[in-house]
Amino acid sequence: GNTARDASVNVVVQTPLQKELAKLGKWIGVVGMAVAALIFIILLFQAQFVTKGTSEGFIVGNTAHNIFIIVQFLMIALTLIVMAVPEGLPMSVTLSMAYSMRKMAKEHTLIRKINSPETMGAVTVICADKTGTITYNRMSVTHLDCSTDESKFRQLATDIAANSTAYLSYHSGNQSIIGSQTEGALLAYFKDKAEDYIKVRKNIKILERIPFSSENKYMQTRYIETSFISGESSSGERVAIKGGAEIILKMCSNSSLDGRFDTTEILSNIESYQRKGYRCIAFASKSVEENEFTYDGFAAIQDAIREEVPKAVEKCREAGISIKILTGDTLLTAVEIAKQAGFWNSEDVESENAITGEEFASLSQEEAIKRIPKIKVIARARPQDKLKLVKLLQQMGEVVAVTGDGVNDSPALNHADVSLAMGSGSSIAKERSDIILLDDSFKSVVNAVKWGRSVYINIQKFILFQLTVNVSALVIALVGPFIGIEFPLTVTQILWVNLIMDTLAAIALATEPANEDVMSNPPRRVGSIVTKKMIYQIAIFGLINLISSILFLLIERKLDPSDGVSNPKYLTIFFTGFVMLQLWNLFNAKMFPSSESLLKNFASNKPFIIIVLFIFLLQVILVEVGGGVMRTTHIGIYNWIITIFATGALILGGGEIVRKLNRR
């Protein structure tokens, strides 16, 4: 009941990106409103609507004309607010997520929630279920310690057939297990050595069953042979039990193993297998009249480590992500698996780096928070232990990913920042997950981190590009009136730059492929999506835009003082130059945060190049046929060539210098 409740509760948590974008949105809104209000006031004063030197200020001139001008200034101010807000950002985020979803699906990773790849990119801790994630979840009995007496061996086979719910399935000559893999391995072993479990089950009747639980660590079944009901036998009712050796042995008073019942020796033998990474299951039985069980032996079950896990673990370590194994196995088995998988170092010790679920549950919140950073393995973990770990890690500021395949994993999966279920796992685990690993591979977890980090960088690239455009336009609008230039861009032109070109730019940057280099960096901490490096580049390229734009306007006014910047041809060249500055800067945004030369990576993404050419073509059409709607006119091939090469030299040259300085 508790597991079902914790697995089904609706957990609504903002993703790291949502938190960062919310902060950015508030900041942009405040700046945009402030600049727009300031521009409106400056334009009013520049137009000399308010006459100073009187006891009461008054508006001069024709009232209707003044209202018309005020409305124009309001339109400019409102347009600047629109300009400040990056409308293409939601599209960029959605496209980046959708693009990553499509690519990850080809790599056997199914995304159920669109924000989950980005959250994977921010993950700092992975809580990994052992069985099915670290191991193949393909159980096989490699050793059975039981009585050599044939009748006792057959009785043990009957007890196991009765005290299990798994089935063996055969298709095209291949055997598969339906239900518990552990039970399936036992059934397969005894099917080859004794009677077929199907035949046994046909001749028994289940009277009572206590299912296996992570709290009890055993499964118990009371049954009777059907021949007893018909009067053909008087064997009576039997009770069979299987589970953790340390728990089963406490219930036993004797042994069926040819008189051998030294619990110390038995546990020592079992531990020798556990230290090799085997899962050990003990068996016991009794007649219904008996008070205590008879120990019947144990099976050592092997579940091999996935081949790709050690390499994937090493990549996680290089990426600064810590991994914690959560398993229902004993401490010895779990630690050995951790060693084989590469989680456990030679300096690690069980007393500090491993703990049982019961011990972890007994820790107070303060004690647990102190121990958690060193814990690498939680053995005999129950659902509430896994959930407690996830919640405490989140309180510590960690971004937590949980992998799992079973019902017991579902509460932790449900409360994690991002959850990953195995494709072969239970339906409840898949329902509670954000991502399903169709190949059940831990390598796919690492791949999801790589894509998540790359998606986040692609979003940063667009923000870098968008804010450079916005800052340039806002500062030009703010500085223009002080140098005698009201506003060189019309409302329609601003909307073109902001809505059309930036939207296409969002598509271009969203299609940037995942980069392996991101896995050599530590996880980002949730804070501001705009980093110092981004601010540095925004300032540099924004300054280049500002200086080149203002110089062009001042030079043109000086060369043609008769009508100055009101000349349609000069204004069209300015509009084209402004757009080309942003278009070339798209390449600088594409390179972020790399310090490599653009020449090495100029045409690495064909969709990007196609979109850039499409934007350029649209700009040519807009200028040449836009006419009065866009306030453009024909500027001639010579001006096109000069504008393209001049803006390209300024922006790309500046970008190469910045990246070269970053390489030092």
What does the alpha-carbon distance between residue 162 and residue 220 come to, in Å, rounded to a whole number? 10
Catalytic, 129? Answer: yes
What does the alpha-carbon distance between residue 133 and residue 406 come to, in Å, rounded to a whole number? 11
Unique residue bearing structure tokens 């914790």: 6
Q: What is the DSSP string of 514-550?
A: P-GGGGGSPPPPSS-SS-HHHHHHHHHHHHHHHHHHH
Burial 238-258 (b: 16+ CB within 10 A, else e): bbbbbbbbbebbebbeebbbe
Our CA dihedral for 609, 520, 19, 82, rounded to 10 degrees, sits at: -20
User: Can you point out the beta strands (E) in 354-505?
Assistant: 354-356, 377-379, 400-404, 418-422, 435-437
What does the alpha-carbon distance between residue 421 and residue 433 come to, in Å, rounded to a whole number? 6
What does the alpha-carbon distance between residue 181 and residue 418 come to, in Å, rounded to a whole number? 26
CA 653 to chain CA centroid, nearest Å: 36
What does the alpha-carbon distance between residue 356 and residue 379 come to, in Å, rounded to a whole number? 5
Q: What is the DSSP letter of 52?
A: P
Backbone φ and ψ of 363, nearest 5°? -75, 140
Cis peptide before 593 (omega within 30 of 0): yes
Residues 6+ apart with CB under 8 A from 647: 548, 577, 580, 581, 583, 584
CA angle 279, 283, 287 (to 5 degrees): 165
Unique residue bearing structure tokens 């009995």: 141
**Strands of the 400-404 sheet, one edge to the other:** 109-111, 435-437, 418-422, 400-404, 125-129, 322-326, 377-379, 354-356
Strand-pairing partners, residue 84, are: none
Q: Please name the amino acid found at residue 304.
A: A
Radius of gyration (C-alpha) of the chain in whole angstroms: 35
What does the alpha-carbon distance between residue 271 and residue 472 come to, in Å, rounded to a whole number? 70
Burial 490-501 (b: 16+ CB within 10 A, else e): bbbbbebbbeeb
Backbone φ and ψ of 87, nearest 5°? -60, -30
Q: Identify whether the C-beta of residue 532 lies closer than 8 Å to the C-beta of residue 593.
A: no
Residue 464 buriedness (CB in 10 A; 0-12 / 13-18 / 19+) = buried
The one catalytic residue among 129, 409, 417, 440: 129
CA angle 83, 88, 91 (to 5 degrees): 160
Report the catalytic residues: 129
